[in-house]
A and B are shown apart, each in its own frame.
Chain A
């Protein structure tokens, strides 16, 4: 952020504080609890950029209750313990909304902490806005009234991926499921198995491996080779995805990868031509979103220096949905009534550049359109300074992409 911008932000906040104390009434604080330092900081910082950008949009339109929404930042250092501590700190500092996205493990902790806090402090509830933790349980067994997920989840991504790859006739009949051994990877594996009939393929083999610990993926590639498959579906992200693809390429393996996170910045630059022809299911593709998408992308780039990618679009959309919901929540006394906001959120219909989005009230999973793209040199927008980009293959509307409410979901609504 530029100093002048920072100064401006400080002034804004100061004004906010001044006016707040000058009895203009309630204001809203949003806390982002992300890994802003350490190994996963690259993702955490993207969430922060997008959250800030999204809230700025909401504030430009008047914020809430006539005052700008304030963003507090907390560094959870990428871990569960850090996150738990920072959630407490955020609540103590007066935040009523916690935003977090990187890692389902951390998300699981945050959602539990929020649930327990709300149980113990009736009347002082807080909301957890999950903008990227995609394990199924977060809107399943662990779902509760005060959490919302604004990103796709394992089932949505896999379903979209398979539908589009089948339609493009690149899926083949033999599929390998290669995933990381924790909640997210297991969910992807499960979804790949469950979609086998719809996709008309056979899951030849599935593997769960250690998360971001493996340097040498050649033994795994040997396994893929032995299984003789057409397609590998993987939920791997970061290094686990890159190393897997590179190892497959250097072994001369002719398989197609269907991925969830190939659009992470740096991936295409690092993988180079190895990435060509592989697929990704993601919530936003600038080319697919047409004119509105381009406009959104250009505006985002003007403020942040890059086109929105990876986890950023869904985070911006989430903040916009928050803004829409807040329009229908009036201040009561000196603060926001969180339970009113939850109900308002369930009714939001938001039109993102990709299409209509809404929040499902049964499990608080967002229903959003999903694009499936292939890495190609014909893409309109190139990424990472290469001559490649993501060419849209298919866009699924929110209804088409939606996965059914899980059986384990049981949200208890306050009376």
Chain B
């Protein structure tokens, strides 16, 4: 036996030993060091959660009447992982389902496409989930349609039907409330990835409006049955079984009848404006309790059918929501629409002027126009009224009074060379009323409006300086008029400064100032209640299905407006005179409710898509009754024309419903709140509503 042979046996033995130890090392790594990872992976391979959706809570008005609630529906789903494998990649199945549901094949096609599969521009209505989950094409199929699918499984491969709870909108008073309610939709991948929320794939979530904000209460908890399956998806054991817990009901401060009346008043205001030849492309109306901030009605025009999501949004519907031609119905104008407040702002100018020491009992000159620098600022109606009392100036909405006061104050503050200790009465008053800031309403997507004070002006200038200083090379050819070039030159030099024109425009709510209708109603409520700035609230309480109160929303004060009792008294008196002898006197003649308010007719610069000049914004901001204010009511119609003829009439319609006015008398029994704004929580009985619908 050679020595080499003996040595080589040892070498081979060492090699074998190293192979074995390599295995042992790897085994240790897999089973001891890294076992957690593999146990999780194994669990996700083996376990399936069968999720029974919970009944979503209802959203009711303050009397317990539901705006929206769940009812049994029938979802029809298409499984892409099955139909994609068919010879025609599911085209014929989609056509068959479309025919069955009475819809267009294109719409079903779109709804079953993953968003990532489509070009960015045409993703409306696309599916936000994965290919491997059944995609709902409608949640509102009839029993007959569902049965057809289930009984002819061979003709509908990959198509399934199962009962689900769906959102239904009883519209007991004919209300729409689409914007405030919002809508629900399928869970997205992003929601599922959020570890703080344990969502399940077939759940529906609030996507907008109250459904979004109060989703955590409305949602409830889905019932989950966890089963262990084998490779063929056969269930081998069950490891968890929880029953679904119904969601809580949300009681709002709204009232279905008042909501319906407000929507109707807004819609007829828009129609009236159109019949007068204005474009009237949208509007908003709000009713708020001036003593608590409760939102009693909130309407946006144009609107949409809230149930269209559950029925299966068509491509046309989805596009329409954001189409300019249709007036962008998706926009919730009460909180997202921003308009120049125009003369409604004069209520704040009064406060600013008294702070500056002006006597509200004195008489002021109201000429046809005022010369400010090299520009002539005219009255809206170029009629000289001579020296008139301030109350009358408000009633008839004289602008020139304010031009003079604002100009004088601007000069006192140093004009183009501002002093270090600025009074800025007008800006500070607007800030004091919360302009340019969100009101904090419990609805998503609220806009801030715009308060063009010195800081804003400077920011804006820094952002646009470059454009102004290179105007002739940067601007469009059509904008190269001598006038615009001159303005650009001026802006290039000192665009960051508040100029006389800015100060003058600000005092009458024109220029760069923008307010949301919501800010307007909060402002007028503060004028009505003596200066308390309430946070507007839609939600009233969260109540369990068994009646237990989970949470009550109490009024919340955001701040106090800089309003003295004398200001309040003067404003009540002069705003009342708007409706008695002023711009809205015609509208409110012999109206039994003593409404105080202000018209506003805002000039809008810029052009419509078709090149026509924009029509004026029509405002009416009000509160009533002036003796003991209870409600603030605001309406705005964009491109609606005059404030009085369009919006003031609309506001009157709302008061008519609110108080039960017929002609010049009040029928308290017909009032929306015969016993005042409800302070007690209602009992909610949804069964009665369900029965009525079926």
A binds B: no
Residues of B within 8 A of A (CB): none
